[in-house]
Amino acid sequence: MNKSWILNKFSVQRQLLWNEVVDVTYILLIFNKSKFIVLTNLIFIYIGGNFIMTSAIVLAAGKGTRMKSELPKVLHPVCEKPMIMHIFEKLEASRIQDKIIVIGHKGEMVRETIGNGVKYAYQLEQKGTGHAVMQAIPQLRDEGNTLIITGDTPLIQEKTILSLLEKHQQANNDGTILITKFEDPTGYGRIIRNKDGEVIDIIEEKDANHEQRKIQEVNTGIFVFKNKSLIEGLPLIENNNVQNEYYLTDMVSILNKQNKKFGSYLLFDNAQVMGINDRKQLEQAEDIMRKYNNRFGCKK
């Protein structure tokens, strides 16, 4: 096959595709078959005119004590399937194949459920979301982007993940947060913006003052970071808060202080990111997923 023809064909693809997910390995192999072993492990996402290597860190170490169950929180079923498996399937559909699952409480049960084909990191002590992500860093590449998502958001949709990644890449952000709005934002971290409308901080509810608690724009717990910015910023997180935990949300203020670019993507369908912390919320999630049954394949 003529190399110039391949380049021309590839150029046409760049005009036709936008935030479509593709495996670029085949194209690269045409140029140099000797790199087959290495390149078959590099899956890229084509976003906004560029191929970007994207990883995912799934936070799945929580105990979920309010579930009042021996099961780890992320293994509670929604429509007869563990909630973390719904997330796993969305990542697979988005072709994010470099996945790191952070496990802790009864981690072996989670590992048995998910199986091989992913990487695992262990959070032996529950010291917050920032601390959980720190455990995954040794397995993260220096370059590319990383999606961070909690293991208890089974209603998230593939389209939302891809839109968030696209927004992050198009804006050339160092970090991007998925945000949403609730009429009653109780339990969620509040989004703090400056006079120009830029996200400059996230305040956890337990640390928020009376005025901040009135804010309806909230953190979903889902982020995208440039790997380099994430790796450099995490060690700067401190635990000087009410919970004495290392909050991943502190990365927002850290990047802003470093004059790095942080952005947001607003999700209007807040049901996709509702928190599942107890049996009542688990039932609500099941009802919502049944409404999504055509997309999620959940039987009525």
As a whole-number percent, the residues of the chain with pLDDT over 70 amount to: 80
pLDDT, residue 292, reads 81
Q: Which residue of the set 14, 66, 279, 295 is catalytic?
A: 66
As a whole-number percent, the residues of the chain with pLDDT over 90 amount to: 69
Q: Provide the whole-model pTM.
A: 0.83
Mean pLDDT, residues 151-180 taken together: 95
Question: DSSP labels for the chain?
Answer: --HHHHHHHHHHHHHH-SS-----HHHHHHH-GGGHHHHTT--EEEETTEEEEEEEEEEE----GGG-SSS-GGGSEETTEEHHHHHHHHHHHTT--EEEEEE-TTHHHHHHHH-SSSEEEE--S---HHHHHHHHGGGS-SSSEEEEEETT-TT--HHHHHHHHHHHHHTT-SEEEEEEE-SS-TTSPEEEE-TTS-EEEEE-GGG--TTGGG--EEEEEEEEEEHHHHHHHGGG----STT----TTHHHHHHHHTT--EEEEE-S-GGGG----SHHHHHHHHHHHHHTHHHH----
Mean pLDDT, residues 129-139 taken together: 97
Give the model's confidence band at 70: pLDDT under 50 very low, under 70 low, under 90 confident, else very high.
confident
pLDDT, residue 88, reads 94
Mean pLDDT, residues 147-168 taken together: 95
pLDDT, residue 64, reads 78
Residue 279 known to be catalytic: no
What are 247-288's pLDDT values in tens digits?
999 999 999 999 999 999 999 999 999 888 889 999 999 999
What are 4-57's pLDDT values in tens digits?
333 333 333 333 333 444 444 444 443 443 333 333 334 455 555 555 789 999
Give the model's confidence band at 173: pLDDT under 50 very low, under 70 low, under 90 confident, else very high.
very high
Q: Is the pLDDT of residue 244 over 70?
A: yes
pLDDT, residue 291, reads 86
pLDDT, residue 171, reads 94
